[in-house]
Amino acid sequence: MSDKTILLQEVMEKAQKWLAPEFDESTRKQVQHLIDNEPDELIESFYRTLEFGTGGLRGIMGVGTNRMNIYTVGMATQGLCNYLIKNFPNEKQIKVVIARDCRNNGELFAQTAAGIFSANGFKVYLFDDLRPTPELSFAIRHFNCQSGIVLTASHNPKEYNGYKAYWSDGAQMIEPHDTNVIAEVEKITSIAQVKFDGPKENIEIIGHEIDEIYVNELKKLSLSPEAIAANKDLKIVYTPIHGTGVKLTPMALKAFGFENVTTVKEQDVVDGNFPTVVSPNPENAEALKMALAKADEIGADLVMATDPDSDRVGIAVRNHSNQLVLLNGNQTATLLIYYLITKWKENGKLLGKEYIVKTIVTTELLVEIAQNYGVAYHDVLTGFKYIADIIEKKHGKENYIGGGEESYGFLAGEFVRDKDAIMACALIAETAAWAKHNGKTLYELLIDIYSQYHLYYEGLVNITKKGKAGAEEISAMMHQYRTAPPKEINGSQVIMIKDYEFSVEKDLLTGKEKVIELPKSNVLQFFLADGTKISIRPSGTEPKIKFYFGVKEKLKNKQTYETEMKDLVEKVNIVAKSMNLN
């Protein structure tokens, strides 16, 4: 008997259980169709249980244990309920908030989760329509809730949906809560364990009133109202790429004082099928194609695009030739952090207790800027929940200015505890107005920063290794780098190694070691004598190993910036080639 035949028999047994009366008629019909007609799809749908990981659920929608549907959402929600009940035994009534983005089945999944929370006796604040993920974070804190969820698959393709769980501080869960919730979810092995359809009186619909409170908080972050007033006609093109930013981003820009915002009408249409893009990911140039065309049509200064749940933003600015060019996440973070720290200094807000936060794979230029102003900085593992953890630990003792990650996520202020593209759009526009007030474009401001500090470029190489053999190969690569690290890379000496799995930083010049005070993570970093930084990290969600490269040089001449940047891009290619990666 072949392996596939054995697997099909196992899958058939699991699928047969989904023909029971506790499953709705539509689900039973779809499962029966797979059993009768589509054995390969049946296997894909049932060969495993969709894993509730540290970031929640994410998967293709459909019937089966390995798909996003009301039953997998239901089991996850019941597991979360059980954990919250254990953790908050003295709460008169546990409170949660539910939000969703534009994806197909989002409303169904949100309603399903609301009914389950209610059935467990919880007070539920349910948004009346789609809302950005950062507003979910804000609402948890606003209502003093113990938890919250948002139904989103971020920038994944249209076939996907997802479920992210948040703790009482408004941030995604970290240890011990993330693994403990996973354990509770794994205990839910039958639909019979899920309490569906609780009383409607436990569910309160929320909406516009929270939008106004949230936007009013955003306005307090503004540092240059005079620059905006003088440049309120700054031409901005914005697209939500069919997602949740459609209402709040224009609302926030208007509240800040910007009066010349043009949206891409075709992409203002809320649609989980994302009909105008291949992928709703603002990291991809293709996703901004229509916005760039609109900007050229009207002569706009700035283009901004947010992903479906509005936690990440991609931007384009005009270069010396008046052409629109896309900035990467590190460049946008550089502009924002430079602007925020500079204005905090000008406004007399730097009192010696301020700090910024970045992830370990984000540009080191942020460190240079912070140190120049006497602002503390903190490195954290990849994932915005770790930035939020620093904010929570220092809340009331030190002042958070801002932070970000190379993957297009940014945050200022403390009232939201996740990356916030609505906030970022408002502050990017303000930075552009401030630059214009000082006779510069954003592009020129970026070059000024490079000139003042160093010219930095960061590149990423993804190596995909599929299947069990691929996973073993990735593990072997990490083992090799750990046990026999290179002494030099591209002719430059390796002078420091950071191993986050074993929490050790070793200075190879002095032989001294020190403990890395971060959670353990399977990440290695090599620092070279020429300033190059190489970070190696296997993906936690895909069969990939990621190599992040950071290189730097002194910018010799502002006029030759583009040529010098091309040289750094080529240097990354050469470094990657020296490591046999391309």
Q: Which tokens go with 356?
A: 């910024």
3-state secondary structure of 111: helix
3-state secondary structure of 242: coil
Structure-token match 């009133």, residue found? 209
Instruction: Evaluate whether 125 touches 143 at the Cβ level (below 8 Å).
Output: yes
Q: Is 126 exposed, middle or buried (0-12, 13-18, 19+ CB in 10 A)?
A: buried
Segments in 195-300 forming alpha helices (H): 208-219, 225-230, 245-256, 265-268, 289-298
Dihedral angle sign, alpha carbons of residues 379, 384, 389, 392: positive
Distance of alpha carbon 522 from alpha carbon 222, whole angstroms: 39
Distance of alpha carbon 459 from alpha carbon 461, whole angstroms: 7
User: Quick count: other Cβ atoms within 10 Å of Cβ 222?
Assistant: 16
Q: Which tokens go with 381?
A: 């593992």
Distance of alpha carbon 567 from alpha carbon 472, whole angstroms: 35
Q: Residue 419: which of 541, 245, 260, 544 has the closest Cα?
A: 245
Instruction: Evaluate whether 328 touches 338 at the Cβ level (below 8 Å).
Output: no
**At residue 115, what is the residue type?**
G
Which of 118, 154, 224, 407 is the catalytic position? 154
Distance of alpha carbon 397 from alpha carbon 481, whole angstroms: 40
Segments in 276-364 forming alpha helices (H): 289-298, 329-346
- Is 154 annotated as catalytic? yes
Q: Catalytic site residues?
A: 154
